[in-house]
Chain A
């Protein structure tokens, strides 16, 4: 268990600066997920925390102790790798006990700790097998087991589930959630899968181009993104963005297909609005607060239906998420209802000027 503090962390590979000053505090026992597009630096940041790469500038402390120059094993950190990185020539038990053996732990203790971890992860029947004789899910559990036996202060996960098939991924996600509750250890989890991040994390760090865009709880990020990037990154299908073409006489925003009412008291000139697919409804043409368009395509997922609407007089498309099975007539003139309370407004810089105000938040 430990508190991790990063301040002004920078990392350069030659002339390329990959991390441009990261400030972050992870509290003791907290589960933090790093998300961001490929190349945003999330895996690099994890490697720095682990100690696999050197920090170019900035300070990193665990429980108040500066660890910039402390080698990985001495930091009390264990990492689970994306490819599992099991030692192919060692049995499951040897894989799990390797770190302890290096640390000079007595044999009896190694054995009891490996057996205990294997029991927790239901690996006891496989202790003598080689990694190649295991299934993907079992290998993943061995990789986690290898981290657990070290009883680390901080767990790091680098996209641990991305090599598993969809069904197994859900199982392992639940397993990790259980582990988080059981162990109560500080955990940092890198993923590009936002469902993993949203379901597992206490707080999510959204990274983009080597910088932190926003840190917050999953729902904070969803409801109150600080900028266009976070708004577009969190949520699936992603938020619809519509450029503002101007303001009408009554201060409404003019967009493709009609007008939308904007929140009052904007501090800056708005440039764009955003609205999530789940906050749109299909309605008749000309209904109040609606935009004119035609459904050009639908996707049926069983639980949901996604309707793609081409707005009148524009190439802009809106995705509308409809609950359940919906037979939607294609190419008929319809309206898309935009709830003014659910609109996000962005300035030209991308900064958020106003966020959605769902009823639940208003009540709170």
Chain B
């Protein structure tokens, strides 16, 4: 580990931590305090670092005047469905790549991963006509499918690397005990793979929850709009920019992800670092 015995080292270390912390958390702090400031205070030339008068007006308007509830439900449906489908597909594909030997295994895997190498804007250009021709443009299944296209390769790869570390002897033992391949997977391998599976679910969920570009492009109807484009179009449009409302709404919509992360962070960290040391 680092030796922090000298005073200069301690000082440099402390200052660096502060800087990094400031860089990471100041925007969040700003979002929080701005959401509580009255409009007059928000547009002052000299900004205040603590709200002079705390007001809940922005939150009130978010829940009463905007369509936020609808956007949240839409996002929950789309993100939940794409994360669930993505995880199920990745679990089986990853296991197959990791534990079975068949011709074409490696080319197929490389082919899948190569989808990752294109910028996702580029993928969107080719996805658009495909979705159009299947009549899936401006539909939730269409959006869910396109999220899966993007998130599946990484999800498969994450689970593949985890499953390669499941000892073969464990699978052999179950086979000698008389379990079928699927049975082994469902009763032995999956139960010990909960952390990485949860990680992959969260990863896929976050990817679609945070998306702006795909949803903005592929969804036109107001009633199917998700939170990303929903917020943007409600609070920041050509005619006005309601920063207080935007901040309050942003806080409200980040909450589900933050809460999910807090509950599942133990799994998440386990999953990300799984196999790092033996």
Please give the residue numbers on chain A whose beta carbons come within 8 Å of chain B beta carbons, in ascending order.
47, 50-52, 71-74, 77-79, 81-83, 85-89, 98-99, 102-103, 146, 150
Contact = CB atoms under 8 A, between A and B. Distances in A.
B170 A73 contact: no
Interface in B113-169: 167, 169
A259 to B, nearest CB: 54
A47 B169 CA distance: 11
Interface string B171-206: 011111111000100001001100000000000000
A158 to B, nearest CB: 9
B76 to A, nearest CB: 31
Interface of B: 167, 169-170, 172-179, 183, 188, 191-192
Given A83-B169, A85-B170, A72 B191 contact: no
B188 A102 contact: no
Contacts of A150: 177
A99 B188 CA distance: 12
A103 B179 CA distance: 9
Contacts of A86: 173
A72 B175 contact: yes
A133 to B, nearest CB: 16
Interface of chain B, helix or strand or loop or mixed? helix
Interface centre among B169, B179, B188 (most CB of A within 10 A): B169
B195 to A, nearest CB: 12
A83 B167 CA distance: 9
Interface centre among B167, B170, B172, B178 (most CB of A within 10 A): B178
- Ranked 8 nearest A-B pairs via Cβ: A73-B178, A99-B177, A85-B173, A85-B169, A102-B178, A89-B191, A72-B176, A81-B169
Contacts of A74: 178
Contact of B173 (A81, A89, A103): A81
Contacts of A89: 191-192
A82 B178 CA distance: 19
A74 B177 CA distance: 9
Nearest to A52: B172
B177 A98 contact: yes
Given A52-B176, A77-B176, A102-B178, A85 B167 contact: yes
A77 B173 CA distance: 12
Contacts of A85: 167, 169-170, 172-173
A73 B176 contact: yes
A73 B178 CA distance: 4
Contact of B175 (A52, A82, A103): A52
Contacts of A83: 167, 169
Contacts of B175: 52, 72-73
B179 A78 contact: no
Contact of B178 (A52, A81, A88, A99): A99
Interface centre among B169, B173, B175, B191 (most CB of A within 10 A): B173
Nearest to B183: A102
B99 to A, nearest CB: 13
Contact of B169 (A51, A82, A88, A102): A82
Contacts of A72: 175-176, 178
Contacts of A102: 177-179, 183
Nearest to A147: B176
